[in-house]
Each structure stands twice: as structure tokens, then as C-alpha cells.
Amino acid sequence: MRSKMMAVLSVTSAVAASGAGGVVGPAFYVDGDLYKTVLTPTDISGTKAPAHTFDAIYVIVASDEAGVPISAFPVAEAAPGDRDYNGGRWQAHPVSIADYAAAIAAFDANGSGDFDSAEEVEAAIAGGAGVDLGVAASFVCPVIKL
């Protein structure tokens, strides 16, 4: 629960630092490409909209060996042009990774040095290197390729 709250605070801090309605970039990865977004003050967590009407955005929660938080871009599962893209409706999933370096070594499929696709994050979860802590927030923001 603490990690889930930290991830929500990270997302909230990013919004506050950039100002509601401001263009932010780079903001997250989709399929190896960086995207920016326009932050909007939308919280649609309480709408009870079906999960299939959202796309997942994985917020990595990890620290190095000294306990210093790792700064990793979030990773989204879809972008404009993808068949299943839901128009910028997101459910933020904090993903706790205990050994970030080992997880990158094992699951960074393209050798980029980062998690930069949903497939990599999902493989780390399936392989036991990461834990999806569930939906921490639901919101709307557009996706703009850099």
C-alpha cells in the first residue's frame, strides 16, 4: 500500500510541478518511443467506467542498492494509431520492482537500458521481478509523440 501511495504521489507531483493544463515532455514511453502529454485536472477514478475503456500506464516504483529511488519514465500500453487505444483514458498501475538492475538485465528486450514498452514491464511482472500494485488512479490526458 505504501508503494502504491508513493506512485500516486509521484504522478501528482509531476502534475503540480508542470501546472495543470501544461504541455509536459517527455512524459512516458509507448513501444520504445517517448511521448509528451498535456496535463489535465481530470480524476475519473470514481466513475465506475469499465476497465476495458482505459489503457494501462505502468508507473515504475524502484530503488537502487543504496535505497535511492530510481527515476524511470512510466510506460503506457497504447498510443494513437494503436488498434486498442482508448483516446487518452488511463489507469495508473504502480509496479514495484525490488531489483531494478536485475529486472532490466532480464526483461529489457531491446537493450535500451530502460523499460520502454508495456511488453517488457508485463514480462517483468510475469517473471516475478515486478509486482503490479493495482489501479492507483484513473485520469484523462492526451498522447503526443516527440
**In the chain, what are the domain boundaries?**
2-145
Q: Pairing mode, if any, of strands 23-30 and 33-38?
A: antiparallel
Helix axes 100-107, 118-126, angle to 10 degrees: 110
Q: Strand, helix or coil at 124?
A: helix
Band (19; pLDDT cuts 50, 70, 90): very low
Residue 41 has pLDDT above 70, yes or no: yes
Q: What is the grid cell recorded at 84?
A: 486498442
Q: What is the grid cell recorded at 50?
A: 469499465
pLDDT tens digit string along 52-110?
999 999 999 998 888 889 889 999 999 999 999 999 999 999 999 999 999 999 999 99
How far apart are the two ends of the chain, measured CA to CA in Å? 33
Band (25; pLDDT cuts 50, 70, 90): confident
**Signed CA dihedral, 138, 39, 14, 55: sign only:** positive
String of b and e for 89-119 (b: at least 16 CB within 10 Å)? bbbbbbbbbeebeebbeebbeeeeeebbbbb
Band (21; pLDDT cuts 50, 70, 90): low
Q: What is the value of pTM for the model shown?
A: 0.84
**Residue-level length of the chain:** 146
Q: For residues 121 and 118, what is the distance between their CA atoms, to the nearest angstrom? A: 5
